[in-house]
Structures are given as structure tokens and as C-alpha cells.
Amino acid sequence: MVNVVESDQLRWIVLLPLLAAAYHGVMLGIVRRPTPRWLIVGLSCGSVLTSFMLSCLAFWELIQLPAESNLLLDDVYTWIGSGLGAENLTAELALAFDPLAAVMCLVVTGVGSLIHVYSVGYMEGDQRDDCGFQRFFCYLNLFTFSMLVLVLGDSLVLMFLGWEGVGLCSYLLIGFWYMDSHNAYCGSKAFIVNRVGDLGFLVGLFVLFGALSEAGTPVVAFRDIAAEFGGIVDATVRLPFLGEARVVTVAALCFFLGAVGKSAQLPLHVWLPDAMAGPTPVSALIHAATMVTAGVYMVCRMSFLYAASPEASAVVAWTGALTALFGATLAIVQTDVKKVLAYSTVSQLGYMFLAAGCGGFSAALFHLGTHAFFKALLFLGAGSVILALHHEQDTEKMGGLRRLLPVTHWLFLVGVLAIGGVPPLAGFFSKDEILVAAYVSEVPGHAWLYRIGLVTAGLTAFYMWRLQCRMFYGRSRVEPGLRERVEEPDGWMSNPLWILASLAALAGFVGLPQAWGDVLTVSDSNSLANFVSPVLAAGGSHAVENGTEYGVALRSLAASLAGFGLAHFFYLRRPELPGKLRKALPSVHRLLVHKYYVDELYDAVLVRPLVALSERVLYRGVDAKLIDGLGVEGTARAVRALAAHGLKYAQTGFSQSYVFLMLLGALAVVGYLVR
């Protein structure tokens, strides 16, 4: 049992962004008068920055705690209370700040505030909508609030609230420029695909709670579930068509379905590339750094569940590995800079699930953090380029930007090297730890998992260097008229990039594997793993020999360098080669450009039949004809006809006939009584 320390400052971390969002909402929807720009900026950025500072304070408080307690709890009030005894359900509206939440909270508020600041510059000149500036910050603040609820929520129920909240904000922000119907379509697609995952989350919640209730411990708070978990480890549940199965496995798989939706894993990855329709800071914050990692966070949060179910863990690991490879291959052929980064995100999230499935929860969390830094850096850097080129995203029309945007080039380069796995930048260490986890795990086929991870590392370096070459090096393909007007972004945009670049470069050292620590004579070098391990299940993590560690690191470095070299050769030395290759292997290229035809498959198998069913059968047949036509209007018509063609004729208007009818009535009454 964890010793809990009360702390009533946590609520302000969550509340401040909500208050800012509420203020914007009131001004936009009710007051309807323009708010001065400095006030919008001050409130939005100020609230998130203050949240970040409060998170730092809470973090400080947390590490000051004595060894036996590692949880700050802010129990605001009893949110849901019902039932008695073993049948009861009590969900507290409580915020919990443990090491896992602390890492996540710092990332969300830290990267979040940087992106808020960056957005001020990015949205400055946007004139597509009258109140767009305020609306943007309203949604962004609301997103931060929801994400913090998701992260700090003490129970599954509260986490689900945040889970849905971030989904809503994601929808709102993808379709932010809704006047273009394609953007609105992309927003809807993201929302609908996420619903599939949300269903999984809910079913998982019900299965888990049902099992806990049957065991006599109906709890929803994470720490209570962890404490009572022993009671349901061996419980089984009967599934339709599938027979008996372990509750733990079923719940874990259901929750994982939720994570698959939110984190864009196979086969629900289709929404994330389309989500790039939103403004670039949104892509950076929501669709790279924070929201999409919620699935990983949730799996880590429920690590005891996955540790208890090897089957579910294997599914997680294999889904992650395949997604990593899948995303990386797609990123190779994309020409839109944001699409490349989107598939890269899909791929990197796959990495995190690979780690989590192999029991390396702290490795997953580590990569989550470093990825947030370098992917945010890459997106914001790309955003600077896009804005400088007046909303041009196609790399076909870039090239040679190094001379025009030197600062952005250097910052972007840091991000590319970090994600490509060049030591000593952050990506190298976190990816290395994942590969080690895969290498030593006992998941079925772990050797192949490791190989897939290694290949993906090479592919990552390849497509990132390809991107870098096509954007910044070589011949300039920028339109001549535009070239003179290209200028470096202002301070609002460049300063966050500097901070992110330094984080992307240095963050790897918080999770330095012990093998490297031995070299540098630092004890307990993997401070992140040491920090979070008390709240994570120890499943599958083994003591790794230093030799293994060096071997894995060398191989991954080799893969990265091979990727970089190959890309350099293809796109700088022999720029005509990619075209030839494309001609030589047209079917492969077509397959990749069409993203393995997954969207087309969904369209043909799910969307069109469903739309046809709704339109032709359910709407025109059932609703319009049966319910409306026969049920509602039919009875109405029948009633009317009964009166209009039957009863009406008794009402002749002649007193004689009235009296006659009365007489008959009186006879009937008397006759019935006398009988």
C-alpha cells in the first residue's frame, strides 16, 4: 500500500487552463466583443506556464518525500457515490501525482507552454477567421486541461473523462479551419476512428470493474485497483463465441484497443496522417507530443494488468513493432513534410508499445518523453518553414533552404539527428533502451521484434535524412518570387525551438543506461527508470549485462548510420536515383504511396456498406417508412380516418337524431342494470 500525502495545490495545475479556456469561451460565445490580443496571450500562455511551475513545485515536493511514500493526492470531492456495501461505487474527483504522472505532467505542461508561446507567433498573421486567434487558444487551453485530467486523474473514470476531452479538442483543432470542408472531414475522421478505441476503453473498464465487484472490491481508483488486483488475477469471464478467458487478458486487450485508437496504432492509425490538416502547433502538441502518447501512458498506468497477462503483452509488443515498421516504410515516400512527420510519429509510438509489450515500461516512458521533445521540435521547425514559405508544405517546392533559413536549419538538424539515433542526443538512448528491452524479453518471437526494431531504426534515419536533404540541401525548388520574401521567424517562434532543441539534445542523460554509467563512473545513472519504477510493474525487465547493452547500442548505431548514409547517397550525391528506383519498382512505390490501401479497404468494407445500410435501409426503409410512415403518421392517419369517416356521421346536427341516440343509450343503460 502506498502512503499517500495530501496536497491541495494539485487542482490548480488542472484548473488554470480550464479557467482560461472558460474565459475565452465566455468572451467568444456570450460577450461577443473582441478581446485585446495581449490579454488572450497573457491568459493562455500564463495559465499553462503557471501550471508548469506548479507541476515543478509538485515534482520537487514529490522527490522530497520520504522513501516509503511516492504519491501526492488532491481529493477534491466525491464525484460519484452510490450503492451500499459490496455493491457500492465511489469515484472520487481526485488528482494523483506519482512519479509516472509527474513525468507526464511535466512533459504536457512544459512542452505545452512552449507550444503555446510558439502559437502566438504562428497564429499571428492568420486572418482566416475573425475570432480565430482567441478560438484557437480557447481550444488549446481546453486541450491542456483535458490532457492534465487524463494524466492526473486518480481513477479510471476520471481518466476516461480526460480521454474523451482530449478527443474532443483534437477534433475541434484538426477542423480548426473548418471553412475548408476537407479539414472538417479530417476532424470527423479522427473523432470517429477514435470512437472505436473509446469503446474498447469503456468495455475494458466495465470488465475490470465487473470482476472487481464480483470479488467484493468495487474500486475504480488506480492505486486501489493495484492493491486489490490479486483478487481477480485468476478470475475468468465467459465471452460470446470465444468461451472462457481470463478477465485480466480481456480487460488488458480492451484497454489496448483504446490505446490503439488514441495512439494511432495498426489498424486504427488512419486518422493521424489526416489530422495534419490542423494548424502546425496543434500537430506538434496534440498529434506528436502529448495526446497520441496517452495510449502509452495508459498502458504504463495499467502496467500491473499487462504484466499479469503475457498474451496481452505479446499483442501489445507485436502491434507496436509492426506499426513501427509500417509507419517508417510509409514515411519514406511521402513528400508533404507534415505527412512524413505524422508517419514518423505513428512509427515512434509503435516503438513505445513495443517497449511496453516487452515489459520495458520505463523505456516506453523514456521514449515518450524524448520523443515529445524532438518531435515537437521537428514539427515546430517544419511549422517555421511552412510559415516562411507562406503555407507551403510540399517538399517538392523546398530544397536549399539552408541558406535562406540558417537558424531553423540548425535547429531542425538537431531534431533529425535526435530521432535518427545519433549519440549522444536523446533519441539514441531512449531507442536503445527499447531495443534492449525487446532483445532480452520473453515475448514470443522477441528475436524478430528486436530485428524489426533495428530495421525501423535504420529506416527512421533514412527518411529523416531524406526529409532534411529535400528541405534544406541541394538545389532550391522554391518559387523564384517567393524566395526573396522568405525570412526567419520572430522570437515568439524561435525561442521555444531553442529550448526544445537543447532538451532534445540533452534529455537522454536522465535515462542513461547503467552500462554507460559504468563507463562514466556514475552510479544509478538511469535516474528516470529509478524514479518511476516503484509505480510500474516489474514484468519482464531483466538485469542486462553490460556486454549485451554495448552490442545492442553498436548495432542500432550502425543501423542509424547506414540509414543516414543511404539517404545522403540517394538524395544528395545521386538525386536521380530515387526516380530510377521508382520506375524499377512501380508496384512497391504505388503500394507505399497508397499507404498499403488501408483507407481504401476501410472505405470499401466498412464505410460504404455502412452508409448504404443507413441511407437505404435504416433511413429510407426503417425510419422514414416504418417508424415515421407506419408508426407515427400511420396511426395518426388511422385515428383521423376513424373519426372523419366513421364517428363523424353520428353528429348529424339534427336534434331528433341526437335524442334518438340518447334514447338508445338510456335503453342500453337500463337494460344492462335490469338484466
Chain residues that interact with another protein, rule: CB under 8 A: 636, 639-640, 642-644, 647-648, 650-651, 653, 655, 657-659, 661-662, 664-666, 669-670, 672-675
Q: How far is the CB of 281 from another protein (least distance, A)?
A: 45
Q: How far is the CB of 636 from another protein (least distance, A)?
A: 6
Nearer to another protein, 480 or 671 (CB): 671
Nearer to another protein, 239 or 661 (CB): 661
Q: How far is the CB of 345 from another protein (least distance, A)?
A: 50
Nearer to another protein, 577 or 643 (CB): 643
- Smallest Cα–Cα separation from 169: which of 200, 204, 140, 208? 140
- Smallest Cα–Cα separation from 343: which of 292, 299, 281, 391? 292
Q: How far is the CB of 653 from another protein (least distance, A)?
A: 7
Nearer to another protein, 614 or 651 (CB): 651
- Beta strand 4-6 with 71-82 is parallel
The amino acid occupying position 138 is C
Nearer to another protein, 67 or 673 (CB): 673
CA atoms of 433 and 427, how far apart (whole Å): 10
Cα 232 to Cα 235, 240, 245, 305, 313, distances in angstroms: 5, 20, 12, 10, 18
Q: Which residues pair with 494 in a beta bridge?
A: none
- Does residue 94 come out as left (phi exceeding 0), alpha (psi in the -120 to 50 range) or beta? beta
Nearer to another protein, 181 or 655 (CB): 655
Nearer to another protein, 391 or 675 (CB): 675
- Beta strand 71-82 with 243-246 is unpaired
Nearer to another protein, 3 or 657 (CB): 657
Q: How far is the CB of 391 from another protein (least distance, A)?
A: 46
Asked if 359 and 313 touch (Cβ cutoff 8 Å), the reply is yes
Nearer to another protein, 26 or 643 (CB): 643
Q: How far is the CB of 648 from another protein (least distance, A)?
A: 7
Q: How far is the CB of 640 from another protein (least distance, A)?
A: 5
Q: How far is the CB of 675 from another protein (least distance, A)?
A: 7
CA atoms of 516 and 514, how far apart (whole Å): 5
Q: How far is the CB of 654 from another protein (least distance, A)?
A: 9
Nearer to another protein, 64 or 655 (CB): 655
3-state secondary structure of 6: strand
Q: How far is the CB of 642 from another protein (least distance, A)?
A: 6
Place of cell 513505445: 352
Q: How far is the CB of 651 from another protein (least distance, A)?
A: 6
Cis peptide before 267 (omega within 30 of 0): yes
Q: Is the dihedral of CA 72, 78, 83, 89 positive or negative?
A: negative
Q: Determine what percent of the chain falls in helix, strand and coil, rounding each to the nearest 5.
A: 75, 5, 20
Nearer to another protein, 604 or 659 (CB): 659
Quickly list DSSP for 85-138.
GGG-EEEEEEEEE-HHHHHHHHHHHHHHHHHHHHHHHHHHT--SSTTHHHHHHH
The total number of residues written for the chain in this structure: 675
Nearer to another protein, 629 or 665 (CB): 665
Q: Which residues contact 341 (CB under 8 A, 6 or more apart)?
A: 276, 283, 288, 375, 378, 379, 382, 467
Q: How far is the CB of 78 from another protein (least distance, A)?
A: 24
Hey, what's the torsion of the CAs at 338, 343, 348, 353, to 10 degrees? 140
3-state secondary structure of 317: helix
Q: CB count, 10 Å around CB of 416?
A: 29
